[in-house]
């Protein structure tokens, strides 16, 4: 099938999911066309089934805001016609579902009826899309999509609660490509650059936005390192990073915390981690937690949003109420203080991640695509 994938090309989870999905579909023989404003960070183009079409928005001084949606929908129309694309799969409702719908309408005018699948990822519903300024357009574009998917049951419930949705929402969880994880044989020498042999390595990876509750991570780590030798690896970049650095300074732990910035070596970093922290205010799914578990790293997370669908209490890690840093630190110490317990959690985290293997999830998307194409 010839499929256009529209996504954000940045380090965010929705872009990662869209890219990995497209790459796996391409490996299975589908022809995939990524359409976005720059090359997605995890996209390697050495594959004959993978195309990337850049959306250019010419700067014009009259515009206070450059019209990206217009450029995107025009590009979609042109690419659908040029490559005879059969289906649009847009990731993140804003503004992709809206632009996709416009493209559909323009194509209809030319006698081309193309189905559109919209995947809701989280913040497009819970944080941004829910804003009164966007709500009518988001509701409209969800209802006008041919098929709508959400990455967790929790996100589906939130969408139905917050918007007046007349369309069915199919839950297709996020996934992980398990076999690509790093060869553990190469770990010890790399690990020694980061930490001493007796230190536990604790990791957090995110876009450092408020919703991630970055100060909670520092506070949890502060309590952990009072009890056992440990290091914290903070991977990613965003508005809360400087504040986090200052807090580490104030607490006197800056020499035990490494701020990496954005990295393309997530799998390597995770391969020598002992514990992953994700105490978010909300998380529709928590792809970063799943990536950690796929590397055999147990997770201490909050119990909000879709996190209980990914991280299982007492099995792959522990879950606590948002903000309960004392309990999160206690649970972290339960896992980290005993090597045998740590190994048990590590193997259960990996076993839990296996349920989300891309091989199990991809057929769900393919089934939906077939339905969508056959209806049209």
Residues of this chain that interact with ligand GMT (CB under 6 A) are 12-14, 17, 92, 121-123, 151, 174, 207, 209, 211, 282-287
Least distance (Å) between residue 170 CB and ligand GMT: 15
Q: Which is nearer to ligand GMT, 181 or 206 (CB)?
A: 206
Least distance (Å) between residue 123 CB and ligand GMT: 5
Residue 364 is inside which H or E element, if any?
helix 358-375
Residue 123 is inside which H or E element, if any?
helix 123-126
Q: Which is nearer to ligand GMT, 269 or 289 (CB)?
A: 289
Q: Which is nearer to ligand GMT, 115 or 122 (CB)?
A: 122
Least distance (Å) between residue 353 CB and ligand GMT: 14
Orientation angle between helical segments 339-354 and 325-336, nearest 10 degrees:
110
* Alpha carbon distance 206, 209 (integer Å): 8
Least distance (Å) between residue 341 CB and ligand GMT: 27
* Alpha carbon distance 147, 61 (integer Å): 38
Least distance (Å) between residue 36 CB and ligand GMT: 13
Q: Which is nearer to ligand GMT, 87 or 278 (CB)?
A: 278
Query: In 3-state terms, what secondary structure has residue 201?
Result: strand
Least distance (Å) between residue 325 CB and ligand GMT: 19
Please give the order of strands across the beta sheet that includes 230-235.
257-261, 230-235, 200-205, 275-278, 299-302, 317-320
Q: Which is nearer to ligand GMT, 14 or 271 (CB)?
A: 14
CB 144 within 8 A of CB 96: no
Residue 331 is inside which H or E element, if any?
helix 325-336
Q: Which is nearer to ligand GMT, 174 or 181 (CB)?
A: 174
* Alpha carbon distance 327, 215 (integer Å): 15
Please give the order of strands across the beta sheet that includes 2-6.
50-54, 31-36, 2-6, 87-91, 116-120, 147-150, 169-171
Q: Which is nearer to ligand GMT, 91 or 200 (CB)?
A: 91
Least distance (Å) between residue 10 CB and ligand GMT: 8
């Amino acid at each position: 099938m010839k499929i256009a994938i529209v996504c954000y090309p940045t380090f965010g989870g929705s872009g990662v999911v869209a890219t990995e999905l497209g790459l796996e579909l391409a490996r299975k023989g589908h022809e995939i066309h990524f359409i976005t404003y720059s090359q997605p960070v995890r996209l390697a183009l050495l594959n004959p089934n993978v195309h990337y079409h850049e959306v250019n928005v010419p700067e014009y001084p009259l515009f206070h805001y450059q019209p990206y949606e217009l450029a995107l929908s025009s590009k979609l129309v042109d690419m659908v016609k040029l490559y005879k694309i059969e289906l649009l799969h847009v990731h993140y409702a804003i503004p992709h579902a809206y632009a996709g719908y416009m493209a559909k309408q323009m194509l209809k005018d030319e006698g081309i009826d193309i189905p559109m699948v919209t995947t809701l990822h989280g913040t497009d519903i819970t944080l941004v899309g829910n804003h009164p300024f966007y709500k009518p357009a988001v509701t409209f574009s969800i209802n006008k999509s041919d098929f709508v998917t959400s990455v967790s049951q929790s996100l589906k419930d939130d969408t139905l609660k917050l918007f007046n949705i007349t369309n069915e929402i199919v839950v297709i969880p996020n996934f992980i490509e398990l076999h690509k994880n790093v060869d553990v044989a190469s770990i010890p020498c790399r690990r020694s650059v980061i930490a001493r042999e007796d230190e536990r390595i604790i990791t957090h990876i995110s876009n450092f936005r408020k919703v991630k509750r970055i100060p909670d991570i520092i506070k949890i780590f502060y309590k952990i390192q009072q009890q056992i030798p440990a290091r914290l690896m903070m991977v990613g970049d965003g508005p809360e990073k400087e504040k986090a650095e200052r807090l580490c300074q104030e607490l006197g732990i800056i020499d035990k915390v490494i701020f990496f910035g954005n990295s393309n070596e997530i799998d390597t970093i995770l391969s020598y981690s002992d514990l992953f922290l994700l105490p978010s205010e909300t998380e529709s799914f928590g792809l970063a937690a799943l990536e950690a578990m796929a590397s055999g790293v147990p997770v201490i997370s909050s119990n909000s949003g879709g996190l209980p669908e990914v991280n299982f209490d007492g099995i792959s890690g522990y879950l606590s109420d948002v903000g309960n840093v004392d309990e999160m630190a206690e649970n972290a110490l339960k896992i980290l203080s005993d090597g045998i317990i740590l190994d048990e959690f590590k193997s259960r985290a990996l076993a839990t991640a296996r349920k989300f293997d891309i091989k199990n999830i991809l057929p769900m998307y393919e089934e939906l695509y077939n339905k969508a194409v056959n209806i049209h």
